[in-house]
Structure 1
Amino acid sequence: MAKTAIALRLLLSRNKTLSQNESADIIDSYEKIAINATGDIRKATVNNAFSGKKRSSMVTIILIVESMGFTMSDFGEIYNDIKDEQILKFQQDILKQQS
C-alpha cells in the first residue's frame, strides 16, 4: 500500500511541477483526478489511494494514473524504483500525522 501511494504521489508531484510552468490544464489535485477519471471515482477514494492507509483496487489505480495523463508503464517504472528507505520514511511520516 505504501509503495503504491508513494508512486502515485511522485506522479502527482510531476504534474504539479508542470502546472506551475505551463498554462495547460494539467491534473494536479485529488479533486481534478476524481473529475477527470473516466470511471465513477470519488475524491475520497482518490485520497485513500494517496494516503496509503487502505488497499486500492487495480481498477482504481489505473483510473487515477490515466486521469493524471500517465500510462501504467510510467507508474510501473516509478513503482519499481522505490527503495525500502522511501517506504520506511513514508510510513514514519504517516505515523507522525496520526499522533
Structure 2
Amino acid sequence: MYKESEKIIMLKVAITLRLLLSRNKNYADLNIDKDDLVNSYEKIAANSSADIRKATVTNAFSGTKKSTMVTIILIVESMGFNMEDFGDQYDKITEKDIEEFKEYIIKSKS
C-alpha cells in the first residue's frame, strides 16, 4: 500500500500531465499541422525519444501507479514542454484540485 504522501505525489503528477496535455489539445497555432501536434497518449508514446509504451503513458496520467522520473521527463518532453513547465504547473496544484481529481477517478471507475 502506498503511503499517503506518495499517493498525493502520484495524483499531482497525473493532474500536471493532464493539464499540459490539455494545453496541447487547445493549442491553435496555425503554423503547426494538426497531425504533428502531440495531443494523445498514443502520440506521446510515438513521439518519445525512447521506447515508451502507450500503457506506461496511460499509467502516468491515471495517478494510480508510480512512474519513474525518467518516464515523466520522456512524457513531458515528448509533449514539447520542459521540466520547468512541469514544475511550474505542479506547484500550482491545490488540495482542492487533488480532491476533485480523486472524485473524477472514482466516478470514471463506476
- Structure 1 segments of 4+ aligned residues over 4 angstroms from their partners: none
Distance 2:95 2:40 in 1: 26
Aligned mate of 1:50, from 51, 61, 69: 61
Partner of 2:74: 63
Partner of 2:42: 31
Report the RMSD for the aligned CA atoms in angstroms: 1.0
Shift of 1:22: 3.1
Q: Amino acid of the residue matched to residue 106 of structure 2?
A: L
Partner of 1:5: 14
Aligned mate of 2:95, from 73, 84, 89: 84
Shift of 1:98: 1.6
Partner of 2:25: 16
Larger-gyration structure (1/2): 2
Distance 2:61 2:16 in 1: 9
Could you state the TM-score of these two structures normalised by the residue count of structure 2? 0.85
Could you state the TM-score of these two structures normalised by the residue count of structure 1? 0.94
The gaps in structure 1 that reach 5 residues or longer are: none
Distance 1:88 1:56 in 2: 20
